[in-house]
Amino acid sequence: MYLVADIDVDICAATSCKLCTQYCPEANTINYDDNAGKDKGHKYGSAYVAVDRCKGCAQCVWVCDNMAKHHAIKMTMIDQLPKAAITDRITYLDKGTKAIAAPVEVA
Amino acid sequence: MSLDYVKFSPGFDKFMPKEYRDMVEHGPFGKKTTVSQMGSFKEILEEHPMCAGCAMTLFIRLAMISFPNPEDTITVGTAGCGRLAISQAAVPFVYGNYGDQNAVASGLSRGLKLRFGDKPKDVVVMAGDGGMADIGFSMTLHSWFRKERFTTIMLDNEVYGNTGGQESGMTNKGQVLKMAPLGKKFEKMDMIGMAKLAGCAYVATVVPNNPRRVESVIKKAVLIAREIGPTYIQAYTSCNIEYSIPTDKVMEDAKSVETDRYAFSEHITDEAKEYLATRYGFKEYLPKPATAAALPKA
Ligand SMILES: Cc1ncc(C[n+]2csc(CCOP(=O)(O)OP(=O)(O)O)c2C)c(N)n1
Ligand code: SF4
Ligand code: SF4
Ligand code: SF4
């Protein structure tokens, strides 16, 4: 098993500072869903991680903790995530993306 | 080379991978994308085998987002870690022999000017410090002295990362590395000074812990190289493997190195300033309105 980044929607959608993706070394790994969290009454959308692309470096954790000071990202064992986004289930929209989080199968 | 080269031949789209379709439909081609929109559009850089948490990877990702016209850009690289990612992007990539990159780029940019005339086609070299300051040193310097119009970017991790930790001309004096066990005996080479001496129209040092600044220097360098002259960016892109930096501390390291010895610097000729202001509307280079004190007294 291995670690991937996991973003707490409730914390992220309260501000949605969009800082972490600017520091993730991997392309299109932390994306934004402008509607995530709206169903829970949050004002903004949320960042999410396409776990199939995450290399587990935890740079985003450092950025969210120390630069954004929001503490929304935790490294989590991939088989402990009830649901996650993966590249195949991301739809790009004219502005932003939409992700379908579903259980991930780990071989 | 044009916007059309990425599009599918009729009938083939359903056979293309999702990432490719996303890139054609929601990528940056023909649009202006910025660092602040990251995470909301499909990038031209794909998955690649560079190490987890590598600052060089982050820099390459930011650079590719910052290309002013990705659909009219060709990258040139060489042996070293960076090419592992640069080659996995939806812009044509030319792989020079180790050290040849600025010679290859010279021929390429001249050829593109002959073929396409004034229509801008941007050539961007990205190579490691070993490839550029050691093995390719003469070709790098000669391309600058010849005033070849393309952008040279050094991915300066201060070591030969790809081959396991030999010192390069850009390693700091005294630095101990796996294959430099007694520590380096000479000073870090002053490539910034040499770029200025050789007549580069724009020279900058940058660290990727400031994404918007990376965006700004890449845009300026690529635009200036279209018409004014050679441009050079030297980016500190740490190797977390050879320098044993924990991956979650890579940005902390970048910040402290920037403060200690890799401060942001920018050198731009007056001709380049005027060109950016008049041609591309860069406000910072528009002539300042005369201040009251400077006005002649009535
Ligand atoms: C002519 C030639 N000599 C040696 C090599 C072996 N080689 C491959 S990568 C590399 C070092 C790369 O170091 P650098 O240019 O600093 O890039 P980095 O990997 O650190 O990004 C060497 C020596 C080669 N490919 N070709
Ligand atoms: S840095 Fe933290 S709060 Fe900001 S967008 Fe990323 S996860 Fe959300
Ligand atoms: S752990 Fe690293 S690769 Fe994964 S999302 Fe965070 S910064 Fe990106
Ligand atoms: S060896 Fe160093 S420079 Fe090369 S990919 Fe790994 S961390 Fe980056």
Domain that holds residue A94: 3-102
Contacts of B46 in chain A (CB under 8 A): 27
Q: Does residue B64 fall inside a structural domain?
A: yes
pLDDT score at A95: 82
pLDDT score at B292: 54
Q: Whose CA is nearest to atom 6 of ligand 4?
A: B51
Burial (0-12, 13-18, 19+ Cβ within 10 Å), A39: exposed
pLDDT score at A104: 87
Out of A25, A27, A62, the one facing B46 most closely (by C-beta) is A27
pLDDT score at B294: 56
The conformation of residue A95, written as its DSSP 8-state character, comes to: S
Q: Is B91 in the same domain as B207?
A: yes
Q: How many C-beta atoms surround the C-beta of residue A51 within 10 A?
A: 22
Mean pLDDT of chain A: 94
Contact call for residues B230 and B214 (beta carbons, < 8 A) = no
Name residues contacting ligand 1 (CB within 6 A): B 79-82, 98, 128-131, 155, 157, 159-163, 168
Contact call for residues B137 and B168 (beta carbons, < 8 A) = no
pLDDT score at B3: 72
**Integer Cα distance of B79 and B77 in angstroms:** 7
Residues forming beta bridges with residue B177, ordered by sequence position? B180
**Complex ipTM value:** 0.96
Q: Is B264 in the same domain as B187?
A: yes
**Integer Cα distance of A38 and A49 in angstroms:** 18
- What is the per-residue DSSP string for B75-102? EEE-SSSTHHHHTSBSS-EEE-STT-HH
Q: Is B12 in the same domain as B157?
A: no
Give residue A94's pLDDT band: very low, low, confident or very high (50, 70, 90).
confident
What region, left, alpha or beta, does residue A97 occupy, with left being phi > 0 and alpha being psi -120 to 50 degrees? beta
pLDDT tens per residue, range B70-116: 999 999 999 999 999 999 999 999 999 999 999 999 999 999 999 99
Q: Does residue B291 fall inside a structural domain?
A: no
**Integer Cα distance of B282 and B275 in angstroms:** 9
pTM: 0.96
Check which CATH number belongs to the domain holding B198 and give it: 3.40.50.970
CA distance B26 to chain A (A): 6
What region, left, alpha or beta, does residue B264 occupy, with left being phi > 0 and alpha being psi -120 to 50 degrees? beta
Domain that holds residue B16: 1-27+35-42
Give residue A16's pLDDT band: very low, low, confident or very high (50, 70, 90).
confident
**Ligand 4 pocket test target in B54, B83, B247 with most atoms within 8 Å of CB:** B54
Q: Is B10 in the same domain as B146?
A: no
User: Kind of pairing, strands A73-77 and A90-92?
Assistant: unpaired
Q: Is B160 in the same domain as B17?
A: no
**Integer Cα distance of B151 and B221 in angstroms:** 6
Contacts of B55 in chain A (CB under 8 A): 25
Number of domains in chain A: 1
Q: Whose CA is nearest to atom 8 of ligand 1?
A: B79
Q: How many C-beta atoms surround the C-beta of residue B114 within 10 A?
A: 8
pLDDT score at B5: 79
Residue A49's H or E segment, with its range, is strand A46-49
Residue of A57, A94, A100 to mutate, testing the B interface (most B Cβ within 10 Å of its Cβ): A57
Q: pLDDT by residue for chain B (298 residues), tens digit each?
A: 567 778 888 899 889 999 999 999 899 998 888 999 999 999 999 999 999 999 999 999 999 999 999 999 999 999 999 999 999 999 999 999 999 999 999 999 999 999 999 899 999 999 999 999 999 999 999 999 999 999 999 999 999 999 999 999 999 999 999 999 999 999 999 999 999 999 999 999 999 999 999 999 999 999 999 999 999 999 999 999 999 999 999 999 999 999 999 999 999 999 999 999 999 999 999 988 766 555 555 5
B81 Cα to the center of ligand 1, angstroms: 8
B155 Cα to the center of ligand 3, angstroms: 21
Q: Is B78 in the same domain as B162?
A: yes
Tokens found for residue B240 = 């977390």
Residue of A4, A26, A63, A74 to mutate, testing the B interface (most B Cβ within 10 Å of its Cβ): A26
C-alpha R_g of chain B: 20
Q: Does residue A28 fall inside a structural domain?
A: yes
Is residue A48 predicted with pLDDT exceeding 80?
yes
Residue spans of beta strands (DSSP E) within chain B: 73-77, 93-95, 122-128, 151-156, 202-206, 231-236, 265-268
Q: Does residue A92 fall inside a structural domain?
A: yes
Cross-chain residue pair B55–A26, CB shorter than 8 Å:
no
**Integer Cα distance of B53 and A63 in angstroms:** 13
Name residues contacting ligand 4 (CB within 6 A): B 50-51, 54, 56, 81, 157, 161-162, 239-242
B117, B122, B126, B131 alpha-carbon torsion, rounded to 10°: 10
Contact call for residues B5 and B30 (beta carbons, < 8 A) = no
**Integer Cα distance of B272 and B220 in angstroms:** 9
